[in-house]
């Protein structure tokens, strides 16, 4: 397995939003700011590669996304 972790020290994601952040169109930004598709697209790409993406967040401390991808069956060239 290959794990990729992406972290920030931003405001974090409120617990009530964690179950929806990968939903297409979900956003907490105002009208006209973004499309709410970024995390949904990332989730779909990871899923299409038989991987998993997880999120851990603490309000006021930041967020970490962990992407887990299998390397089975991949041949080096």
Tens digit of each residue's pLDDT (9 = 90 or more) over 41-69: 999 999 999 999 999 999 999 999 999 99
Fold of 2-69: Heat Shock Protein 90 (3.30.565)
DSSP 3-state assignment of 17? helix
Cα dihedral 48→6→58→29 (10° resolution)? -70
State the greatest distance between any 2 C-alpha atoms of the chain, in Å, as a whole number.
46
Spatial distance between the Cα atoms of 24 and 14, rounded to a whole number of angstroms: 18
| Sign of the alpha-carbon dihedral angle for 10, 15, 16, 20 | positive
Kindly report, residue by residue over 19-48, the tens digit of the pLDDT: 999 999 998 887 777 778 999 999 999 999
Measured from the Cβ of residue 65, the count of other Cβ atoms closer than 10 Å reads 18
| Residue 13 in this model has a pLDDT that exceeds 50 | yes
What pTM was estimated for this model as a whole?
A: 0.83
| Residue 75 in this model has a pLDDT that exceeds 70 | no
């Amino acid at each position: 397995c290959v794990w990729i972790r992406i972290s920030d020290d931003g405001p974090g994601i409120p617990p009530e939003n964690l179950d929806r952040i990968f939903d297409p169109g979900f956003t907490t930004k105002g009208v006209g700011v973004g499309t709410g598709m970024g995390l949904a697209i990332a989730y779909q790409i990871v899923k299409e590669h038989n991987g998993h993406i997880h999120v851990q967040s603490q309000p006021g401390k930041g967020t970490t996304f962990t992407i887990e991808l299998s390397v089975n069956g991949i041949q080096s060239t």
